[in-house]
Every structure is written in C-alpha cells, then in structure tokens.
C-alpha cells in the first residue's frame, strides 16, 4: 500500500478529474476559480470543517467521509432554499494517508457530484501533523429575491421536521459499541444515517420557491439546540410535543434496547434534517409536497410569543431536557 | 489568561463584529451567506489553508497570522485580476488557544478588512486535537469578460516580477535562527515580509483591465516552481537572467552574511509577488504603472518556444538550480 505524496500529483490524478472541463475551474491549474451566475441570481456560500475523530470516525469508509463532508454543506444550502452548483475543497492530510483511501474518498465525491449536480472548482491540499482535517466551501444560487433564513418565524407557525429525528447520533453510538443487540437492519440504517446524511436540497428549494416556509434551519447540532437558534433568531418561543416527534423504526428499536426515552433524541446531532416554520394555512400544500418529494414531513409543535422551548409529554406535562445539544468546542 | 470556550460565544463576541451589518452575512447567524454581484460580473473564489508550524510559526503574532491568512488568498485573487470583496473563515482551534490570541487574531482581520475592502461573510469554528488549522475562502469579482490565467503566455513575452524576490524565505530563516548578525533594519524587513506579505491586488486588476499582461501567477512556492507552472500551462520555456532578479537590500545583506548566491532565492517561497508575462510593446505602459502604483516591476527574462527554464549568469552561462521550490506535501 502506497502513501500519497506529491501535492501536484495528487491534484492531477485524483482531484482534477472531479473538476473535469468545467468552465472556470481551469482543470484546477489556476490560482482561483471563476463562477458565473445566471442574470439576477445571487450566490449562496457556506463552509464546513470535519476533523477525523471529531466529526467522523477514523475508520469510517473514505467514500462516506467524502459524501458526509459534501452533504453537510449541501444541507446548509438547502436550509436557505438554494440550488447547489459547485464546491472548493481544502484538505490537510496526515503523512500516513494511503493512496487507496484518497482514491475511495474521491470516488465518494464523484458519486455525490453526479447525484447533486455539483462540481469541484478548486481547493488547497497540504500535509498536517494533526488529524485529517477537511474543509469544504459549497456554492449554490438563489433565483428570486427571497431566501429562507432563521429570523422570520411567526407566532403560531407550525413547526415541521423532515425525515426522522436522532438516527445519526444513535448510529454513532452503535459504532462506538454503546448499543448492542440491534437487528442488522436497524443497525445498518442508523449507521448509514450517521455516515451519510440526506441533505434536503429539493425540499429546501420547494419551500422557498413555493412560499411554504417562514424560516428554516438544518438540524446539525440536535433539534433542541437548532430550534433554539431559530427561536432566538426570530425572538419567539415554541411548544414541541414529544409524542409527535418523527422517530424511525430503527431508532425505536435502539431506544427499546437502551431503555432510554425519546427526550434524548432532542439533543442528538448529525441528522441534517430541515426544521422549518410554516403558516397553518400551508398544511395541505406541505402534505402534498411531502408526497411529491417522498420526504416525510412531521408537524411537531408550534411557535409562540412566550419565550423558551417547552417540550411536552402526551399528557401535556413539561419534559426536562438534560443537554441542549452539541457544541463543536 | 482564559482559554476560548463556547463555539457560539466566540462567534458572537469576536467574529460577528467582522461581519458587521453586511447584507447577506446575517450577522453570522445563518446557515450560509448570500453574495450579490453587479450585473454581468463574475465571481472569483479561492481557498487557502494554513497550519501552525507548517505555514506559519507557532509564536508568530496572532495579528500577522490572520493577515497572512487573508493576504495569501487575496494574492490568488490578484493573480486573476479580481477585485476582492468577501471571505469565509474555517478555523480549527486547539483547546489551549488563549482568548487574548483570538482577540489579536480578529484585530488583524479587522485591520486588513479595512485595508482591502473585504468583509467576513460566514464560516465554521471547531476544536481540534491537532495544530491550529485555518482555511480561508476568499471572493472577488471580475467586471469584464477577461481573466488573467496561467495558460496564455506567448513566446517572446517579457517576464516581470513585482516587488523583490526571496525576502519571505530569508525572513523565515532569520526567525529560525539560521541567519545571524543582520542589522535590525534588514532583520525586521525580512521578518515582516515573511509574516505579512503584500498581495498585489491593485497591480493584478490594472494588468487585466488595461490589457498589459498575457498570463500571471502569484509566487507562493518559489519563483522557479511557479514560473514552471506558468510555462507548463502555456507549453513554453523561458530564460531568466540571474543578474536581473529584483533583490532587496535586506536580502543582499542576508546573502552576504550566509555567503550564499542569488540562485537560492529562486526556490524560496512565501513572497506572494506577481509573476507575469507581457508583450514587448507594453514596456512603457508597465514602467508607468509601476510608478503609478509605487510597486517595483522588474523584467527578469523572456518566454520562448524551447521548453525548460534556463537560468543564466551575467556571462550568459547556465546556472544549475538545486531545488525547484516548495511543495506542501
């Protein structure tokens, strides 16, 4: 097994094919990339960093590390309602990185480039004495004048979550050996959700373009914490009903094994689902949209003027949360 | 002395002021940033990564680390002829980072934001068990249809370099204690050039907008290596005359102390000067531009069809180069 060596050889062999002949990428041989936008469009951009051992496990497969890196940023674009187009990669490789690992990493990027319609436009590669550190800058575009943001939630808005809650964090715990005795199906599903989230790109765009959401955020640090950002941004509070949380069959199985309650799912990060507010008169449209996109959309509470987050059990009693969520410090 | 803690506290206290009330930055409280472009403009973007101990010294002052980080990317924009506008910061801090260090780092960014007319638009912060790792994505714009690139050098083009050659690498060696006995003035100048390069933003824009250069690159890895990129990109060779290299008084003093020849300066990285080609009928215009911008421009050779780089001494004899330049692997 050979180790990667030669900054320019790595770029030419593995990274330049990801740029292909895209206009403005200069086959990755220039100092910077040129991005063109349709007339009237605005550019949306975000950067996310992932470090081995912190944001992914050192033995996660290389292709899923690549896909997670890209998808985490695409999820940020989705939360704004943007259409993804391109990305830059800044990679700091430990000296013992195997060339086979790098090849698989780039295969993961290639697969997701095709899936999401994005292209590598440039980047920087360097060696590091520390852990593998990956930083990806994603680009998307907004056609009209609007944008989904975190500050426009209205009192009385329904609160929706796409997909299911808590799978990713349970998948991490499975990989750490903290949850035993799961069926193969449940185990695989939770691990898949941890390693390879599904950024809700089509959902975000539809919510913006059809005027269905008032405000949105992607749930990266846990529902409680990210809902907190949405509420703080809008100066509101909310009620969330524990019984209405969307919990997958795999997660239900894991909770049965651990004996834990659903409350813990509120602080599990890494799902990259969209959390958004919508006026009550949008319920039928959202039901139709969920069916159109084959993305579950679950109404789990409402925004209200009274500050703070109230999580209620089936009897309407307040549930205490032990931890607000993840922080990356 | 307190250590930094709390991802969101750091963002709110130190980073959000760098975004101010810039439209599209959402006070750094959103998932992504929105960049607007003038009609017809194209966006230019580049990312550069710097790691403590590799791209800067662990005891370099925090404000110069910040400025170098920003300026290295601005230099990439300059090499394309773009006007800088904004940036994203992805920072991975070791747990023992002092808050005073972070404050000084952000002061450096603030000073250079004012100097270069750029604004922080977003980013990501995280903790790392490895060395301080900083990745900055810079944005600029191009108004017309042209761009400076590396592939348009023509046979017979004059080759020009801005500023002086080799100061930065000599400054690094001074800081490493490898060059003793310099005057304070020479030492300070070389160290300043290592810690805080001068990206040639106005020069790059003028070269593009006035049609003065055929191709350009910024010299980050040493003149020999970066000239090699320019020549490879254009399928040409070049002659460079050692006697015509622009060498500062401080560098001359350092060479006298070490007993080294100018040849070593060709492989010293970190100067971030612009190297460009220009047709011979642009000489007068370039002389005038150098005066207008107060940026020295030195003609140090010519491009030619015959492949390879020939470095010649004052008698026209070939000089052998020991090392082609830096590589970040």
In tens, the pLDDT along B199-232 reads 999 999 999 999 999 999 999 999 999 999 999 9
Q: How many residues make up chain B in this entry?
A: 329
Q: How many residues make up chain A in this entry?
A: 329
Residue A159 contacts residue B159 (beta carbons within 8 Å): no
pLDDT per residue, tens digit, chain A (329 aa), is 467 666 668 888 899 999 999 999 998 888 899 998 888 889 999 999 999 999 999 999 999 999 999 999 999 999 999 999 999 999 999 999 999 999 999 999 999 999 999 999 999 999 999 999 999 999 999 988 889 989 999 999 999 999 999 999 999 999 999 999 999 999 999 999 999 999 999 999 999 999 999 999 999 999 999 999 999 999 999 999 999 999 999 999 999 999 998 989 999 899 999 999 999 999 999 999 999 999 999 999 999 999 999 999 988 899 877 655 544 33
- What phi and psi values does residue B41 have, to the nearest 5 degrees? -80, 155
Domain A8-29+37-142 CATH (choose: 3.30.1330.10, 1.10.3720.10, 3.30.450.40, 3.40.50.150): 3.30.1330.10
Torsion sign, CA atoms B108, B110, B116, B121: positive
The answer to whether the Cβ–Cβ distance between B130 and A131 falls below 8 Å is yes
Average pLDDT rounded to a whole number, residues B148-163: 96
Query: A158-312, superfamily in CATH?
Result: PurM-like C-terminal domain (3.90.650.10)
Which A-chain residues 139-158 have CB contacts (< 8 A) with chain B? 139-140, 142, 147, 149-151
Query: B7-142, superfamily in CATH?
Result: PurM-like, N-terminal domain (3.30.1330.10)
The predicted-structure confidence for B68-107, as pLDDT tens digits, reads as follows 999 999 999 999 999 999 999 999 999 999 999 999 999 9
pTM: 0.94
- What phi and psi values does residue B188 have, to the nearest 5 degrees? -60, -40
Please give the helix or strand (H or E) that residue A314 lies within, else none: none
Q: Is the ipTM of this complex over 0.90?
A: yes
Q: Quick one: closest CA in A to B124, which residue?
A: A48
User: Are A8-29+37-142 and A158-312 the same fold in CATH?
Assistant: no
Could you give the CA distance from residue B283 to residue B86 in angstroms, rounded to a whole number?
33
Per DSSP, what are the bridge partners of residue A312?
A: A241, A318
Q: What tokens appear for B164 in the block?
A: 């002086």
The answer to whether the Cβ–Cβ distance between A217 and B123 falls below 8 Å is no
The DSSP secondary structure of B47-82, one letter per residue, reads EEEEEBTTTB-TTS-HHHHHHHHHHHHHHHHHHHTP
Residue B3 has pLDDT above 80, yes or no: no
Q: Where in chain A are the domains?
A: 8-29+37-142, 158-312
Residue partners of B49: CB distance under 8 A and separation at least 6: A90, A91, A92, A124, A126, A135, B55, B133, B134, B135
Could you give the CA distance from residue A68 to residue A193 in angstroms, rounded to a whole number?
10
The vertex-B110 CA angle with B171 and A133, nearest 5°, equals 70
The answer to whether the Cβ–Cβ distance between B34 and A46 falls below 8 Å is no
The answer to whether the Cβ–Cβ distance between B327 and A7 falls below 8 Å is yes
First-to-final CA distance of chain B: 35
Could you give the CA distance from residue A217 to residue A251 in angstroms, rounded to a whole number?
22
The DSSP secondary structure of B297-309, one letter per residue, reads EEEEEEEESS-SE
Which B-chain residues 72-91 have CB contacts (< 8 A) with chain A? 75-77, 79-80, 82, 88-91
Q: What tokens appear for A133 in the block?
A: 């550190």
């Amino acid at each position: 097994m050979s180790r990667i060596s030669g900054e320019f050889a790595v770029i030419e062999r593995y990274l330049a094919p990801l740029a292909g002949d895209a206009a403005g990428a200069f086959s990755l041989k220039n100092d910077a990339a040129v991005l063109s936008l349709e007339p009237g469009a605005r550019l949306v951009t975000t950067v996310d960093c992932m470090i081995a051992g912190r944001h992914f496990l050192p033995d996660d497969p290389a292709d899923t590390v690549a896909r997670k890196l890209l998808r985490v940023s695409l999820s940020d674009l989705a939360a704004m309602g943007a259409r993804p187009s391109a990305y830059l990669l800044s990679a700091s490789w430990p000296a013992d990185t195997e060339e086979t690992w790098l090849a698989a990493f780039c295969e993961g990027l290639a697969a997701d480039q095709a899936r999401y319609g994005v292209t590598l436009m440039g980047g920087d590669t360097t060696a590091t004495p520390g852990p593998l550190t990956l930083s990806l800058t994603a680009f998307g575009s907004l056609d009209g004048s609007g944008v989904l943001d975190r500050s426009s939630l209205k009192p009385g808005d329904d609160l929706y979550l796409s997909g299911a809650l808590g799978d990713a964090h349970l998948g991490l715990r499975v990989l750490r050996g903290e949850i035993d005795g799961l069926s193969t199906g449940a185990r695989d599903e939770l691990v898949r959700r941890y390693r390879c989230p599904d950024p809700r790109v089509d959902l975000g765009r539809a919510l913006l373009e059809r005027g269905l959401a008032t405000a949105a955020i992607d749930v990266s640090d846990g529902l409680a914490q990210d809902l907190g950002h949405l509420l703080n941004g809008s100066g509101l509070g909310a009620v969330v009903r524990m019984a209405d949380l969307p919990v997958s069959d795999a997660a239900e199985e894991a909770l049965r094994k651990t004996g834990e309650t659903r409350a813990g799912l509120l602080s599990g990060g890494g799902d990259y689902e969209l959390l958004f507010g919508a006026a009550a008169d949008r319920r039928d449209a959202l039901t139709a949209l969920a069916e159109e996109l084959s993305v579950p959309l679950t109404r789990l509470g409402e925004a209200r003027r009274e500050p703070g987050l109230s999580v209620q059990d089936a009897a309407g009693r307040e549930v205490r949360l032990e931890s607000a969520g993840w922080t990356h410090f």
